[in-house]
């Protein structure tokens, strides 16, 4: 099955996902850090805590005592670790002049700087690039690996960078590339959470007829 056919079938089954949930690019960045190793519903609670405390701002987060910040992030899990990572991101964000200044940088430089930050790995960096800065970078996560391996599109042991580059090469090029990457990743997450689970629900899967891993 061609990867573009996977996209079309997922879109027909699930419809537009309207990702990433966040009112501002900075909020998207915060969410990308907090969603590591936790469900999005928990991230929403932590972001709500920050908003209620009037701390959904990079400079305000930096000024906040680490213990207080960690307490506000408790719903997201690993709150002490995430507090350190969020403060590191915010310090860089403020030092570099904020969103307007950072958005002027090319994607390669911006990605390298994100990856140099404490606790920011390739998946988190690419979440930020795609959903906050609207750059044509495809996000690879565990859901993508599971779905594409079951479909026979990948071997499953590729490195993150090899898999990302491979997916980007196989998707259409054009002005709508950012929108395509955005929607496709969101659709993969929706499908893997609800249908292509560790124990798949193949009987309701739009990809089942051509999937080598279909369980009947």
pLDDT digit string (tens) for 99-145?
Answer: 999 999 999 999 999 999 999 999 999 999 999 999 999 999 999 99
User: Which tens digits make up the pLDDT trace of 29-59?
Assistant: 999 999 999 999 999 999 999 999 999 999 9
Rounded to an integer, what distance in angstroms lies between the CA atom of residue 160 and that of residue 167? Answer: 11
Number of independent structural domains in the chain: 1
* 67 exposure class (CB count in 10 Å sphere: 0-12, 13-18, 19+): exposed
Show the domain range for 147: 1-216
Evaluated on CA atoms 140, 143, 146, 147, the torsion sign reads negative
Residue 21's pLDDT is: 81
pLDDT at 173: 74
Convert the pLDDT of each residue in 62-79 to its tens digit: 999 999 999 999 999 999
What was the pLDDT predicted at 110? Answer: 98
Cα distance between residue 184 and residue 139, in whole Å: 9
CATH code for the domain of 33 = 1.10.340.30
Q: What is the mean pLDDT of residues 206-214?
A: 95
Mean pLDDT of the chain: 95
DSSP category for residue 74: G
**Residue 22: per-residue pLDDT:** 86
| Residue of 18 and 78 predicted with greater confidence | 78
Q: Is the pLDDT of residue 1 over 90?
A: no
How far apart CA 19 and CA 177 sit, in angstroms, is 15
What would the pLDDT profile of 137-177 be if each residue is shown by its tens digit? 999 999 999 999 999 999 989 999 999 999 999 997 766 89
């Amino acid at each position: 099955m061609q990867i573009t056919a996977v996209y079309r079938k997922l879109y027909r089954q699930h419809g537009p996902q309207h990702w990433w949930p966040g009112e501002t690019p900075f909020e998207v960045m915060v969410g990308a850090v907090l969603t590591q190793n936790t469900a999005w519903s928990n991230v929403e609670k932590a972001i709500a805590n920050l908003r209620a405390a009037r701390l959904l701002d990079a400079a305000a987060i930096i000024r906040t005592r680490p213990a207080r910040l960690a307490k506000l992030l408790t719903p997201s899990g690993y709150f002490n670790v995430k507090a350190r990572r969020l403060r590191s991101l915010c310090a860089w964000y403020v030092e570099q002049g904020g969103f307007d200044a950072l958005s002027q940088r090319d994607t390669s430089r911006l990605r390298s700087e994100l990856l140099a930050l404490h606790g920011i790995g390739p998946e988190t960096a690419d979440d930020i690039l795609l959903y906050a800065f609207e750059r044509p970078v495809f996000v690879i996560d565990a859901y993508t690996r599971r779905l594409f391996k079951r479909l026979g599109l990948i071997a499953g042991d590729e490195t993150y960078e090899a898999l990302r580059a491979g997916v980007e090469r196989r998707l259409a090029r054009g002005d709508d590339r950012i929108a395509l990457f955005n929607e496709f990743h969101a659709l993969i997450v929706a499908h893997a959470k609800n249908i292509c689970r560790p124990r798949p629900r193949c009987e309701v899967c739009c990809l089942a007829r051509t999937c080598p891993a279909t369980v009947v």
